[in-house]
Amino acid sequence: MKLVGKTETFKEFVGIADGINALELRIHIEEDKIWYRVVDTGNVAMAAVEIPIAAFNECSFTPQIFCMDVVKFKNVFGYGGKEISITRESEEANSITVESGGYKSVQTLLHDSTVKKDPNMPELNLDGIVEMPGKELSAAIKNISVESDKIRFIVKDHVFTLKSENDGQDNVERPFLSDELLNIVGFGNSLFSTDYLISMARNWGGNVKMMIGTDFPIIVESTIAGGHGSSTFLLAPRIEG
């Protein structure tokens, strides 16, 4: 197997998993795409990422699966190269060779049996739908997280509101009116921790689509790799009695 692509493409691909603090990935390479699904160690967040093979500069392979260490692979991003090349001698080989910026890193693969099985993205019927530029959503999450470690997502009367939630009276909110959004329908009201939201928001450079219910998980869909790939992020709500 040989796969060559822009460093930024690999950063986005792995960055989604890193955003939920996933340490291990099972990578599926198929004839037309490369993908993974992963959950965080606390089973609070889930991510699914897919990039078409056409988004890479060079590829030669037979369909295969391998498991890798996320932290070890991320070190390659510091090599300064504009491209990254990944080679594997055969489907049975227990290592990959990663090259970038003149550096060569041989990385031992993880055994499939030691890595969590691919999770299934749950089918949820969430009434609230909001579509908007990812950068504006990211900025709002960042600013509100300064005030609180919890953010409430509210979809009501064609207004989408992000609101901090504190024990005292100090709160900050950012309402987005319908003319600031690409689309808004339905109703939803759920509370979430900011931890994963802040990390994931760094990956939302394009437009995003949010599916929001009431005291249900949030699902955020976005594009990556210059619009060629896609990512889906799910986060469980905070339920406070």
pLDDT(168) > 80: no
Q: Which domains does the chain have, with CATH numbers?
A: 2-114 (3.10.150.10), 128-235 (3.70.10.10)
Q: How far apart are CA 201 and CA 144, in angstroms?
A: 13
Q: What is the pLDDT of residues 69-114, one digit of tens each?
A: 999 999 999 999 999 999 999 989 999 999 999 999 999 999 999 9
pLDDT(202) > 90: no
What is the total residue count of the chain? 241
Question: Tell me, what's the pLDDT at 208?
Answer: 96
Q: What is the pLDDT of residues 111-134, one digit of tens each?
A: 999 999 999 999 999 999 999 999
138-141 LR contacts (CB < 8 Å, sep 24+): 138/201, 138/202, 138/204, 140/174, 140/176, 141/194, 141/197, 141/198, 141/201
Quick one: CA dihedral 222, 228, 229, 230, positive or negative?
positive
Q: What is the pLDDT of residues 8-45, one digit of tens each?
A: 999 999 999 999 999 999 999 999 999 999 999 889 99
Which helix or strand (DSSP H or E) is residue 156 part of? strand 150-156
Q: How far apart are CA 200 and CA 18, in angstroms?
A: 9
Contact in structure between 104 and 85 (CB atoms under 8 Å): no
Per the confidence metrics, is the pTM higher than 0.75?
yes
Higher-scoring residue by pLDDT: 79, 225: 79
